[in-house]
């Protein structure tokens, strides 16, 4: 039959593909720092003879793929890029191999990892994922507009000051919004910001018995403050704004302040992309004097699934990619400003890095002030600053995010949004077995 050669060809190709020397399959997320690591990784292969097979995916696709694989013990990947949300959940499930080798390696110096980040990636004192880069959130503001408004930004402002400044900086005639905040629905979108904000208002997602707290005075204050701030000083159509949209607005000079990820600092101060590059100041996320600030904590990290057949080689690679030497290599080849931030204390003590990144000190202060193991004013049964590290949170968080986004768009009142959030979350948590 004529078709036979085609199939023989297909089978042969497939067999060739599966029979090779030791190869690590690495699933990672498509962003600048990871692509740079991929580019530099030929040095690792030359050094060790271990081949690398890269699977680079967009964040949501990556999350779906690696979750499917790890939950079914599929074994497609030897190294997975995961965040501080997945790390504690997966570690508790026994899906990840502990990185004991790194902890024992004096040269790797595990104590150099920033304590807040290390805490977010450890369970019972054991490290389950090594941070590749970390971030918190802080305030980026226009120094010129602040001066024009006759105000001075403190290093660690209160929400009251932010409200006053945002309203004073707003100039509708010139299309300048006092403040740009996330409004797009999603657990990693508006809920990352609002959950972190609620911590500084003394609110919490659940009490110690997993009962949702959206009926509390603290959540009402959080949402009312957010909505009135956005109504008085926010951009039009804010309910569809996420990180990118706000970045563009800020770079075009249309925002007086923006509270978002610390990694944005290098974008807004880059004169190639930003029209306001030389007029940006930084301050810590606001608080209300309750001991918690409205900043989050996230780290893209490398972990080894329990199903990996190449755990030893995988740990070798993770050691290479998250070491001090790697940071030095990036600095040498691409400059200090391009080094992956937010993982090691020694980086922030390095004068070369401090000179190249004017926002370094504020980034470090923000990361250090977030505590994923103790995120709220009142005690909670969960881990996580801008999320609740339970598997159900992605769904619940997105539901609530849609309600709050609808409130921002004026489709429902704050009271209705909170009441519906309380009902929906109570139902989901009861169904999931948290509430008996």
Partner 1 sequence: MARRVSTSTKVGFTVLAWAVALLIFSPILWTVLTAFKTEAEAIAAQPTFFPQNFTLENFGAVQDRSDYFKHAINSIIVSFGSTILGLIIAIPAAWSMAFAPSKRTKDILMWMLSTKMMPAVGVLIPIYLIFRDLRLLDTVHGLTLIMTLINLPIIVWMLYTYFKEIPVDILEAARMDGAELWNEIVHVLVPMAVPGIASTLLLNVILAWNEAFWTITLTSGRAGTLTAFISSFSSPQGLFLAKLSAASLLAIAPILLLGWFSQKQLVRGLTFGAVK
> Would you tell me which residues interact with partner 1 (CB under 8 A)?
3, 6-7, 9-11, 13-14, 17-18, 25, 27, 30-32, 35, 38-39, 53-61, 64-65, 68-69, 71-77, 243-244, 248, 251-252, 272-273
d(CA 22, CA 270): 41
| Residue 337 DSSP label | G
Minimum gap (Å) between residue 373 Cβ and partner 1: 28
Please spell the DSSP secondary structure of 368-434, one letter per residue. Answer: HH--TTS-SSS--S---SSS--STTHHHHHHHHHHHHHHHHTTSS-HHHHHHHHHHHHHHHHHHTTS
**Bridge-based pairing state of the strands 126-127 and 122-123:** antiparallel
Tallying the residues shown for the chain, one arrives at 436
Shortest Cβ 163–partner 1 spacing (Å): 29
Tell me the H-state helices in 183-342. 190-200, 217-233, 243-251, 264-268, 311-321, 324-334
Shortest gap between Cβ of 270 and partner 1 (angstroms)?
10
- Nearer to partner 1 by Cβ, of 18 and 209: the residue is 18
Residue 106: partners with Cβ closer than 8 Å, 6 or more residues away: none
Given the complex with partner 1, which of 212 and 242 has the nearer CB atom?
242
- 41 vs 284 by CB, closer to partner 1: 41
Rounded least distance, CB 231 to partner 1, Å: 26
For partner 1, give the closer residue by CB, 291 or 335: 335
Q: Please state the closest distance from residue 20 (CB atom) to partner 1, in A.
A: 9
Render 69-84 in DSSP notation, one character per residue.
HHHTT----SEEEE-T
For residue 384, give the nearest of 232, 100, 191, 246 by alpha carbon.
191
Q: How far is the CB of 16 from partner 1 (least distance, A)?
A: 9
| Complex with partner 1: residue 2 or 436, whichever CB lies closer | 2
Closer residue to partner 1 (CB): 81 or 218: 81
């Amino acid at each position: 039959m004529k078709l036979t050669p085609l199939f023989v060809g297909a089978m042969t190709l497939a067999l060739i593909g599966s029979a090779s020397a030791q190869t690590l399959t690495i699933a990672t997320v498509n962003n600048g720092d990871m692509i740079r690591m991929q580019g530099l990784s030929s040095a690792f292969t030359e050094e060790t003879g271990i081949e690398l097979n890269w699977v680079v995916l967009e964040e949501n696709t990556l999350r779906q793929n690696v979750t499917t694989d790890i939950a079914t013990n599929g074994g497609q990947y030897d190294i997975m890029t995961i965040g501080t949300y997945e790390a504690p959940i997966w570690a508790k499930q026994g899906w990840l191999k502990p990185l004991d080798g790194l902890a024992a390696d004096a040269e790797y110096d595990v104590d150099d990892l920033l304590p807040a980040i290390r805490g977010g990636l450890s369970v019972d004192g054991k490290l389950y994922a090594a941070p590749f880069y970390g971030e918190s959130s802080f305030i980026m503001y226009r120094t010129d507009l602040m001066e024009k408004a006759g105000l001075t930004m403190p290093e660690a402002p209160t929400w009251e000051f932010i409200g006053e400044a945002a309203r004073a900086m707003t100039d509708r005639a010139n299309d300048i919004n006092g403040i740009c905040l996330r409004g797009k629905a999603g657990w990693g979108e508006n809920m990352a910001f609002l959950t972190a904000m609620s911590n500084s208002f003394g609110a919490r997602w659940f009490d110690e018995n997993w009962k949702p707290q959206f009926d509390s005075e603290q959540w009402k204050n959080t949402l009312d403050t957010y909505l009135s701030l956005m109504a008085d000083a926010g951009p039009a159509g804010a309910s569809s704004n996420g990180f990118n949209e706000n970045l563009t607005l800020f770079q075009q000079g249309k925002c007086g302040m923006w509270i978002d990820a610390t990694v944005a600092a290098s974008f807004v101060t880059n004169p190639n992309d930003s029209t306001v590059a030389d007029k940006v100041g930084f301050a810590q996320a606001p608080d209300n004097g309750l001991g918690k600030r409205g900043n989050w904590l996230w780290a893209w990290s490398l972990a080894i699934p329990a199903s990996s057949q190449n755990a030893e080689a995988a740990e070798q690679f993770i050691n290479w990619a998250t070491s001090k030497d790697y940071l030095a290599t990036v600095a040498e080849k691409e400059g200090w400003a391009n080094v992956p931030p937010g993982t090691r204390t020694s980086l922030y003590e390095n004068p070369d890095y401090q000179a190249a990144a004017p926002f370094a000190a504020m980034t470090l202060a923000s990361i250090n002030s977030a505590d994923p193991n103790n995120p709220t004013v009142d005690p909670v049964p969960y881990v996580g600053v801008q999320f609740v590290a339970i598997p159900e949170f992605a769904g619940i968080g997105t539901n609530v995010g849609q309600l709050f986004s609808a409130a921002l768009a004026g489709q429902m009142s704050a009271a209705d949004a909170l009441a519906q959030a309380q009902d929906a979350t109570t139902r989901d948590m009861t169904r999931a077995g948290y509430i008996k």
